[in-house]
Structure 1
């Protein structure tokens, strides 16, 4: 069975991607921006370094953000970013050198004492000011997510909203950041929560706006300063985010951003003044970050790969279940850590695979900026090739390709990185398609006789991010959620990555999970003070 081809009309290139809105900042910031305009170089030598007191105006280069200045990198190594739909050039991103990484960390370290001693209410007020600034950048952010990441407009808008939600959640929970106080006849003992220092956030390509905001607000509210290393595949959202922090009035050095690939991560982890590292990405990169951080006595949280299962019982609401599976498996082209990549059909539900395929065939694949499109492209040509190679390997290992998304053609965008919705049946646990995270629109279908067999399958998988049970039986749901060994469980809903993220097994490495109470524990150290007055 072949996936249906999209006939969505072509999308115009987003020429307004880097158009700047009217600054929401004070007059002094407007004056600084005017000064910076006269300093912008129009030359093409990317080895030259320039600093701007305001947002950069040059469109074809991504700038680092160090000590509240937008700095054009002096690196000799640059990477080009292309629209995954049209392959049109968007911008260049530097692989920042050691001097630039050191400067970013030094700026954060220099700002630490003043920021940490600022009353928590004032730190919170600045972060709330970010919520005032962000709406003025919302259109640019969503356009950027569509152009660089290939997202549908609906997904891009949802990412923007979830990023804002993350800021609001951190501010709302800031009252939890308190110590203890004990008094007896002779002594007084109390604890305080102190910042850990300079915190590094390493974030992936698939949610370049939202995921930095999972960690940065918590780190800042805790009195830490931050260096963000965004993905080199989707760097522009971080540059816009830098403008938002600048416009919101954050002091120099509190938030810094350095761009680049794995070498920049290594340079950051080698910095002795870095106290904590937060990472979201693949298991291979996550293990490397975790081990390096541990070796240099840094705190680390690494949210890694996943293989999320959806278990379907025959008593589930069929229509709602089919739509939930299709959305969980193929939303964002499967490029998310909470994608529903395996469906386990139990007993009489084994016949539902054909129904899932029929629904998947109705999904419209194309440019995300076009109305009605359900699924965009993969991030790069290499990502497309890898996903197609996994499908081919599954076929050679004995799986059946029920719905084939390889060689998917979107007529108006033949150069796009498109893979159509793909469904594999007769999948066995030894197959590559089951053992590895695919990170594409591929759903593996497996069949078992009982829910207990499904639970055993989930528990034997090396990943433990999340799973879902579809059923109309509360008693079965109770048994399931108690028995499965994963960090997140959904009942009749695919687990949402925007709520608490509590993965386990090989899906998470480190000290505290990337959400909730664990964030305050991760970003603070407990100090105990004992006092006796004679």
Structure 2
């Protein structure tokens, strides 16, 4: 167990009606610093009654917020954007302290989340409807988009600021009240964002936090006043969220897991491909749903590529994220670190080789949850390291003879989140983007996370629901359309007509 620093431990509460509210369940969890194993906070877990209070408060707030002019909502979002910019260093420090990320990685997360707040500042333009004059004689037809009411988001540990900003920015800008259930492993970033939102002018009750575990999640999924659920996490949980919430009549977007492949063709620039594989495979200790976890090396590219990756891995400095010289921090927990490390033994037992073994001497890492970059060669389908989402700093190389063989492996994989191709052949790249059955594709770009004015999401078992996260599809998700048919006739021309309405 990690050490307990009594004086450093803080209490993390709910945020309801614009202020901290203690949990009533009597249950709680601990938050640790992954770099040291020290307990740094205690988070109270919501009871069903806590969730009911949060929803009731949000419902009342939503009634007023939806009548707020669009220009006023945009003004509030712009102030929130400026406050996040002003406090980005403090927010990054919280992320690093609870998640273990390096300062640079935490600042990058804040920057990408900030893009979504900036996108939401354009809400007046995003909610413009359509108008057709004289659709029939004296009849006009127009479409408007209206908020859903109370909506909720359930977010993961690996992006404690960015993913909440993916959701709450559009949800609130579109006129909804948003309830966030952050990961109990990293709860403090969301509280900080809620405080900034209040300072920006988000009315009390429009942004609510409920801390907790499955009790809180299940109540959110079942509560009749919640109209939509957004989720990011593992595929088994995403499937559960989707099935439970839709059974209770809710709109759902649930993003699941990934097994992202990077295809390297023989004509690729080896140095560029190696840089990309190392950056995308080991950044954030591999705890990204868009991390590259499999390199498909075509033909004779495998040996020079593996050697180039090994050279780069040797230079990566692993250690606490708050030390500026470190490039990779710890994993989120001891249990997760040990589970990820177990894939290395399994790979060897199943016939793969291990050019780089990242298991570190505990004497050098203390009680922190560290695992260095690891590289598996000669992986193949059927091995645990290939079939499972590892979610850690483990990169597997699969040797294939042809582009067709590589494409088949990608398309047969049950996940379809992200993929990338490295080549200098434009025709091959264009063919790949046409052929591949994956939702986000990078061409010489290893982590193709869309900018905020597009939308994020995969295919197959990486997404449950019809709409992707944030961007234009996010606006669509948090609103519903209404079509109005209008006529202002001369009362003297009115008559009874039992026939089906026609365009005349």
* Normalised TM-score (structure 2): 0.92
SS at match of 1:326: helix
Cα 1:15–1:358, aligned 2, differ >3 Å: closer, same or farther?
farther
Task: Kindly indicate whether residue 6 of structure 2 is the aligned counterpart of residue 87 of structure 1.
Answer: no
What pairs up with 1:277-292 in 2 under 5 angstroms?
277-292=229-244
Does 2:485 correspond to 1:514?
no
1:116 corresponds to: 66
Map 1:76-225 to 2 at 5 A.
Answer: 76-172=26-122, 174-184=124-134, 185-225=137-177
Measured in 1, the distance between the counterparts of 2:7 and 2:76 equals 29
Go from structure 1 to structure 2 and tell me whether the alpha carbon gap of 1:238 and 1:359 turns closer, same or farther (over 3 Å shift). Answer: same
The equivalent of 2:330 in structure 1 is 377
Instruction: Determine the structure 2 residue equivalent to 1:497.
Output: 449
Q: What is the correspondence of 1:399-438 to structure 2 with a 5 Å cutoff?
A: 399-406=352-359, 408-409=360-361, 413-438=365-390
State the SS of the aligned residue for 1:61: strand
Task: Could you tell me which runs of 5 or more consecutive residues in structure 1 were left unpaired when the two chains were aligned.
Answer: 1-12, 18-58
Distance 1:412 1:348 in 2: 38
Which residue is equivalent to 1:533? 488
3-state DSSP class of the match of 2:129? coil
8 Å Cα contact 2:255-2:457 kept in structure 1 = no
CA contact (8 A) 1:14 1:143 kept: no
Q: Residue in 1 aligned with 2:340? A: 387
Q: Secondary structure at the match of 2:11?
A: coil
Equivalent position to 1:524, from 466, 479, 493: 479
- Aligned equivalents of 2:270 and 2:319: distance in 1? 28
Residue 202 of structure 2 corresponds to residue 250 of structure 1: yes
How many equivalent pairs are there? 480
Contact 2:48 2:215 (8 Å CA) reproduced: no
Is the contact made by 2:170 and 2:470 (CA closer than 8 Å) also made in structure 1? Answer: no
> Which residues of 2 match residues 333-352 of structure 1 at below 5 A?
333-351=285-303, 352=305
Cα deviation, 1:324-345, whole Å, max 9, x if unaligned, reads: 1100000000000000000000
What is the SS of the residue equivalent to 2:278? helix
Cα distance in 2 between the residues matched to 1:16 and 1:121: 45
Q: Which residue of 2 aligns with 1:49?
A: none
Contact 2:75–2:121 (8 Å) recurs in 1? no
8 Å Cα contact 2:70/2:123 also seen in 1: no
* Aligned match of 2:307: 354
Question: 1:149-189: per-residue Cα shift (whole Å, max 9, x none)?
Answer: 11011101111111211100222365122221112133111
Decide which of 47, 59, 63 is 2:13's aligned counterpart: 63
Aligned to 2:432, which of 450, 475, 480? Answer: 480
Q: Distance in 1 between matches of 2:416 and 2:120?
A: 25
Q: Report deviation, 1:391.
A: 2.0
C-alpha distance in 1 between matches for 2:145 and 2:12: 37
Q: Could you tell me how far apart the structure 2 residues matched to 1:175 and 1:202 are?
A: 28
Task: Quote the residue 1:25 is aligned against.
Answer: none
Moved more, 437-446 or 498-507: 498-507
SS in 1 for 2:66: helix
Cα distance per residue 1:23-46 (max 9 Å; x no partner): xxxxxxxxxxxxxxxxxxxxxxxx
Gaps of 5+ in 2: 490-504
SS at match of 2:274: helix
Structure-2 change in CA distance of 1:228 and 1:479 (3 Å): same
Note closer, same or farther for the CA distance 1:498–1:376 as it changes in structure 2 (3 Å cut).
farther
The TM-score normalised by the length of structure 1 is 0.87
| 1:447 aligned counterpart, secondary structure | strand
Is it true that 1:75 corresponds to 2:28 in the alignment? no
Whether the 8 Å contact between 1:511 and 1:522 is mirrored in structure 2 is: no
Which residue of structure 2 lines up, in the alignment, with residue 367 of structure 1?
320
Q: Quote how far apart the aligned CAs of 1:462 are.
A: 0.4
Per-residue CA deviations over 1:232-251 (Å, capped at 9, x if unaligned) read 01011011111111211221
- Give 1:314 deviation, angstroms: 1.8
